[in-house]
Structure 1
Amino acid sequence: MVSYGSGLPGGIFLPILTLGALNGALMGQIFIMLGWIPATYMVNFIVIGMAAYFACIGKAPFTAIILIVEMVGSITHILPLALVSLIAYLVVDILNGAPIYTSLLQRLLKNKNQQLSINDLVTIEIPVLAGGLMEDCLVQDLPLPPKALITLVKRSDEVLIPSGDLVLRPGDLVYLRLKKANLEKIKSLGYELN
């Protein structure tokens, strides 16, 4: 909570591994106290706990296996890591858990009111016609739907940056990025679309 909530770089990678190691140590300690395993296997439980926790939180079992094998520097744990990581992944999948990074991104976008999918946007090309609505008009004075963005203006072979004081001339092509839902609004404003 502190690592991610602070907003500082570093994210939640280390806390995930730490919590996994703690869970593995807890399970190992329980098994040792019950006399089911000797104390020499405690390190194995810590390593396997990290992989299992990372696999279920990130929903990335193969990444967890490779990451922990690389951290440990030995392939002796690869079979138990694979088994436990896949089981952890399946349990989270059955419980309809979402990957942590996807969940955090959705929450971030929701908090910023930016739940706009790339598929909801479209770029259209509008020609500036002689005698038309856009002829000799400043870019800043164009009537546009909310959150529409002029990305560039082409004049002959030249690409112009669409600053507010750019005057549009007949023959220019204006590239506009907007929501698909606003396409009809653009037509109703009197723009001719290519």
Structure 2
Amino acid sequence: MIIVILLVRFVFSMISYGSGLPGGIFLPILTLGALSGALMAHIFVYLHLMSANYALNFIVIGMAGYFACIGKAPFTAIILIFEMVGSVTHILPLALVSLVAYLVVDLLNGAPIYESLLERLLKRKPAHLAMSSMITMEVTVLAGGMLEDQQIRDLQMESNSLITLVRRSENVLIPKGDLVLRAGDIIYIR
């Protein structure tokens, strides 16, 4: 039964991850790790290599190993599972399994799941969204400053800059060329 649950969980995780839809991957990683540990524990118990009393330890250690492998973050896995379990009896096995899992995935040139997700997200970003990455600056007109009592048309600005609006106390003003800036005005430049 554990094999079936593990395979179904793995297939659904692949479908979820491959679909590109936003969603959590943290809980599926821990679930697959726990199921892998439970499967190994049942195999060892079935072969009479281990007492059934240690099955829970395999589940806990399986979560840490799988997380360290998929996330390539062994120390995060150790601390995370240690906090979840709340017992120091698992620290040494957690550390050993997490570091071995990290070394194996590193030797096989595996990429961390979160970096892979970020790269895929950045590749899917449409080119027309480049305009949305422009920065809007807020500039406050200071009393006695260079901008006070200047008309917008007289401001020396970069050629690709645009004043989008001017806020004067509670009022929002349209930035026309003949608008005279006063102390306390906030200019929004894009």
TM-score range, shorter chain: 0.5 to 0.7
Distance (whole Å) between structure 1 residues aligned to residue 21 and residue 40 of structure 2: 32
> Counterpart of 1:23 in structure 2: which amino acid?
S
Say if 1:157 and 1:84 are closer, same or farther in 2 by CA, change over 3 A.
farther
Counterpart among 140, 145, 156 of residue 172 in structure 1: 156
SS in 1 for 2:158: strand
**2:57 aligned residue (21, 44, 49):** 44
CA root-mean-square deviation: 3.2
1:169 shift after superposition: 3.5
CA distance, structure 1, for counterparts of residue 159 and residue 96 of structure 2: 53
Asked whether 1:81 is paired with 2:65, we answer: no
TM-score between the two structures when normalised by the length of structure 2: 0.62
Q: What's the CA shift string for 1:124-182, capped at 9, x where partnerless?
A: xxxxxxxxxxxxxxxxxxxxxx8594755979745xxxxxxxx97354222869xxxxx
User: Matches of 2:76 and 2:93 in 1, distance apart?
Assistant: 15
Q: What pairs with 1:9-158 in structure 2 (closer than 5 Å)?
A: 9=23, 11-113=24-126, 149=134, 151-152=136-137, 157-158=146-147
Residues 66 and 149 (structure 1 numbering): CA distance in 2 closer, same or farther, change over 3 Å?
closer
Q: CA deviation at 1:30?
A: 1.0
* Structure 1 runs not aligned, ≥5 long: 115-145, 159-166, 178-194
Separation of aligned partners in 2, 1:175 and 1:62: 50
Identity over aligned residues, as a percent?
Answer: 64
**Normalized per residue, which structure has more helix?**
2
State the TM-score, normalizing by the size of structure 1: 0.61
SS of match in other structure, 1:36: coil
2: distance between equivalents of 1:48 and 1:68?
8
Q: Structure 1 residue 32: deviation in Å?
A: 1.0
3-state SS, counterpart of residue 62 of structure 1? helix
CA contact (8 A) 1:3 1:15 kept: no
Q: Is the 8 A contact 1:56 1:89 kept in 2?
A: yes
Q: Is the 8 A contact 1:153 1:174 kept in 2?
A: no
Inter-partner Cα distance in structure 2 for 1:150 and 1:79: 49
Structure 2 segments unaligned to the other structure (5+ residues): 1-12, 162-190
Q: 1:39 to 1:32 in 2, by over 3 A?
A: same
**Which letter maps to 1:173?**
M
Shift in alpha-carbon separation, 1:41–1:153, aligned structure 2, 3 A: closer
